[in-house]
Structure 1
Amino acid sequence: MTTSLQELLAGWITGQRWFAGKGRAIDDLSIEHRTDVVSGDPGLVHLILSVRQGERSTRYQVLVGLRSSLPDRLKHALIGPWERDGGEYAAYDAPHDAELTRILLEAMESSRREEELAFHRAPDVDIDTSLRSLVLTAEQSNTSLVYGDRYILKLFRQITAGINPELEVVGALAAAGSTHVARPYGWIDTKLDSQTTTLAIMQEFLANANEGWAMALTSVRDLYASAPEVSAEEAGGDFAAEASRLGIATAEVHRELATAFPTGVIETSEVKRMAERLRRRLDEAVAEVPQLAAHASVAHAAYDRLADLGRKVAVQRIHGDYHLGQVMRTPSDWVVLDFEGEPGQPLSERRGLDSPLRDVAGMLRSFDYAAHHLLAGHPEGATLQERADEWSARNRAAFLSGYSEGGGRITADDAVLLRALELSKAVYEVVYEARNRPSWLPIPFAAFRSQR
């Protein structure tokens, strides 16, 4: 009995790291869109799948390669046998095939269209179509291909109808001459639910850059390895100067976003409603993680101060998921990546206006994580706690100082909002760690004990 393509894909997709419905049965898988990009052997087929699990339906993008004989180098990407045009082919995950992924470069360079699939080249760029690709293995929710040391193409696996904020923001900032984004080279889109929908984005690959998280961890390890009397300032890998530069870059990006996109204000009544929303999320988190109840009064007090603020709050486009893993240090400056916003949130919310202090709060929490997560299970964790606190405090202060120097505003009233947003982020972290890494719970709990 021949297995249908839908059955084949249903058996394969559940094992992919980017599949969001792990642990739940697939009730139905259907093919919404199919585009034959390349016929022949090898062939390339583009699919948009709709996967229903219970009441939830999720769209996924799959590029399927077809070969009559699958070489050993591609066997790890095998999906299964597929009958097509009277012959049997091996179907496989095409991003792993450099022979086929070069076609994506050629299609973007020529701004080609294949039925409902549209390829675009960014203004004023040329694309080198001779480069071979390599799949990055670190991605969890998307698939990224690096072409030589020039480009990185991010294929969005889970698809939401509409323009992806990453394309919208990076395109606008690059056009304005921002030095804090990786230059866009091209993108792929289609029509879903009558909306232009982003499927992939290609940008400059920052080959000579270092990730902020990795740099911060090197600094923390240097401090832990130094003599007890050596301070964070004196340790060989002091990160404070970079944290300050990152603060300046963050303020500049916020200013550029406020210039490139509309801005607004939240009225005092809406500020009160914001405080109530934060309070509800806290109550929900306490119900799920009862240990949080001992710290809830600290958050409630911060939310009370926010509700009593009595002034409007400026809002604009922001990053939305800002932390040390989203920034890269090039030889000349800090570059900000992944303007997609908070994963799992509706596209309308990710493209909405918010306080830039939400990004600031996210980065402050990231400094705490960089300083303390190595202590989980560490044999000298108790003795290193004070050093971790010192590193975090020093770099948080340096980042905030740089943010102010770069033009970011943090008045006394702003500090009230920032504290509420930081504790809200810590509430989210408590729930996440309880579900995934219980040994890390002390990190977000510490945010409620701090008198910042």
Structure 2
Amino acid sequence: MSEAVTRTATTDPGLLASLDPLLRTWLPRQRWFAGKGRPITGFSLVGATELLPAHSPLGLHHLLVRAHQPPVPGARAVPGDCYQLLIGAREALPPRLAPALIGHMTEGPLAGRTVYEALYDPQPAGVLLEALRSRARIGGLRFERDPGQEIRTGLVPRMMTAEQSNSSVVYGDTFILKLLRRVVPGTNPDLELPLALAREGCPRVPAPTAWLRAELSGESYVLGVLQPFVQGASDGWELALRELAKGEDFAAEARALGRATAEVHLALARALPTVTLGHTQVRALADGMIERLDATAQAVPALRPYVPGLRVAFEAPAILAAEGRTWTAQRIHGDLHLGQCLRSPSGGPGTGPGGAHAADGGGTWSLIDFEGEPARPLAERRMPQPTVRDVAGMLRSFDYAEHSVSPTVPGWADTCRAAYCTGYAECGARDPRTDPVLLRAYETDKAVYEVLYEARQRPDWLPVPLSAIRRLAAPDPS
């Protein structure tokens, strides 16, 4: 492709109708499909773009498809979730692509061909990277990149298989393309915040190299972000579990991770507006937490004995606010835990000009995945919030790590929690422990969320958040 390629792209209107029976079976089996447990009653097309001609040996269709399902009992009816699909079409699939199979088409424009998840296939995945490199505009799709960064050709793609809510392709250990699966119109924080941090020169978050958007019916969708691939990096969750299994201390890493979190928070406060939360805002915050508590207690009887103590934790910030206490709110990560952090070897892509940060030892911590909690509305994910919400998420993550190995290492999580807060304060940010009332409220809210999740998804894990609930419901939770 030449620079800034622009071309129209048409897709046969009968394509979705012919795919319908296959998608009804295939889509619910995907880890990123959010509507499990409810039947699909139909599909509607939000956008369709032909990236490779349907009549060629290899066809490639980009689809934005809304899946319609019955509403959750007790919830109001909402439009179906919109999913991003990349559908490849071949005469027959080679054995290496067997895991990508969607099905065999018997009618429609692709009749007689086999359709599959195209991200598994290096050639279609390469088409996406080339479109980003050339800043292509194809139909309603906009492939954009930072003009100061180059994307070289010849990078071999491979799909990562460990993700849940999205899909990622790594290109030659140089870039990683994260494709959002469930998409909504509007400004997505997974692109917005890393771009803002790049402008601030914050080295803790890989700067976006390129991104993919759709402009459809007057609305803009962020569909994917290309960032540098952090070679040799260890996922924070996996690293913590490895150290736990060996009985190794993790305090130094937790302290360095606290520093990294504070650096990101300080940079976000410089880059984007902050607001002050007074009595009205904090009262609404507490009411939301209490509402979630009551709903969870209805669904999980084991939580009910602790409700009075937990209500105290949620009311406490509102009482302080009524007395005139205020808090600062700003943009935050929104879903921070060990799995959203990468520790790279010294000198990797999250490293500043002088190499690894001194407190990081021989490597550097980076924060990734700024999408926020995908189940929450986009407007809510983009609201300024107190930084202790991110801190509370990380503190709960240490607790989960301690309980994920057998035998457990008593006191491991407490040591990490203290070290993390110490590291956070070392960067000039306020020590989270000096705001125990709000920190307790956010940690309690997170634990209540975990109780509902575990009761529904992993009942064997329910004792983990319940142990935190017992502590947080006590008159002195320390």
TM-score normalised per structure 2: 0.86
**More displaced stretch, 393-402 vs 210-219:** 210-219
Secondary structure class of the residue paired with 1:354: coil
Q: Distance in 1 between the 2:102 and 2:319 partners?
A: 57
Name the structure 2 match of 1:229. Answer: none
Query: For the Cα contact (< 8 Å) 2:433–2:439, is it kept in 1?
Result: no
Query: For the Cα contact (< 8 Å) 1:161–1:192, is it kept in 2?
Result: no
Query: For each residue in 1:169-190, what CA deviation from the matched residue of structure 2 results, as whole angstroms up to 9, or x when unmatched?
Result: 1112122211101231211110
1:164-203 to 2 correspondence within 5 Å? 164-192=188-216, 194-203=218-227
Q: Distance in 2 between the 1:52 and 1:172 partners?
A: 35
Q: Distance in 2 between the 1:58 and 1:423 partners?
A: 29
**More displaced stretch, 158-167 vs 273-282:** 273-282
Q: Distance in 1 between the 2:331 and 2:242 partners?
A: 32
Counting matched residue pairs gives: 428
Whether 1:323 and 2:337 are equivalent positions in the alignment is: yes
Letter in 2 for 1:60: Y
- Displacement of 1:9 after TM fit? 2.4
- Displacement of 1:136 after TM fit? 0.8
Query: For each residue in 1:144-186, what CA deviation from the matched residue of structure 2 results, as whole angstroms up to 9, or x when unmatched?
Result: 1111111111111111112221111111212221110123121
1:259-278 to 2 correspondence within 5 Å? 259-278=270-289
Secondary structure class of the residue paired with 1:50: strand
Change (3 A) 1:8 1:214: closer
1:195-234 to 2 correspondence within 5 Å? 195-223=219-247
Secondary structure class of the residue paired with 1:119: strand
1:45-444 to 2 correspondence within 5 Å? 45-54=61-70, 55-56=77-78, 57-82=80-105, 88-192=112-216, 194-223=218-247, 237-310=248-321, 311-331=325-345, 332=356, 333-375=364-406, 384=408, 387-388=409-410, 390-410=411-431, 414-444=435-465
Q: Distance in 2 between the 1:69 and 1:194 partners?
A: 38
What is the identity percentage for the equivalent residue pairs of Structure 1 and Structure 2? 45
Letter in 2 for 1:43: G
Q: Distance in 1 between the 2:118 and 2:31 partners?
A: 16
- Displacement of 1:104 after TM fit? 0.9
Name the structure 1 match of 2:474. Answer: none
**More displaced stretch, 77-86 vs 160-169:** 77-86
Query: For the Cα contact (< 8 Å) 1:257–1:317, is it kept in 2?
Result: yes
Q: Distance in 1 between the 2:296 and 2:121 partners?
A: 44
Q: Distance in 2 between the 1:123 and 1:208 partners?
A: 27
Q: Distance in 1 between the 2:39 and 2:311 partners?
A: 39
Q: Distance in 1 between the 2:139 and 2:58 partners?
A: 20
Query: For the Cα contact (< 8 Å) 1:6–1:31, is it kept in 2?
Result: no
Query: For each residue in 1:175-215, what CA deviation from the matched residue of structure 2 results, as whole angstroms up to 9, or x when unmatched?
Result: 22111012312111102452221111111111211111112
Query: For the Cα contact (< 8 Å) 1:44–1:63, is it kept in 2?
Result: yes
- Displacement of 1:448 after TM fit? 3.1
TM-score normalised per structure 1: 0.90
Q: Distance in 2 between the 1:87 and 1:53 partners?
A: 27
Name the structure 1 match of 2:49. Answer: 35
List structure 1 runs of 4+ shifted beyond 6 angstroms.
Answer: none
- Displacement of 1:295 after TM fit? 2.0
Q: Distance in 2 between the 1:222 and 1:87 partners?
A: 55
Gaps of 5+ in 1: 224-236, 376-380
Q: CA RMSD in A?
A: 1.9
Query: For the Cα contact (< 8 Å) 1:361–1:422, is it kept in 2?
Result: yes
Q: Distance in 1 between the 2:439 and 2:245 partners?
A: 29
Name the structure 2 match of 1:230. Answer: none
Q: Distance in 2 between the 1:293 and 1:8 partners?
A: 44
Q: Distance in 2 between the 1:300 and 1:240 partners?
A: 32
Q: Distance in 2 between the 1:133 and 1:76 partners?
A: 17
Q: Distance in 1 between the 2:344 and 2:64 partners?
A: 36
Query: For the Cα contact (< 8 Å) 2:47–2:216, is it kept in 1?
Result: no
Gaps of 5+ in 2: 1-14, 71-76, 346-355, 357-363, 472-476
Change (3 A) 1:424 1:183: same
Q: Distance in 1 between the 2:158 and 2:370 partners?
A: 23
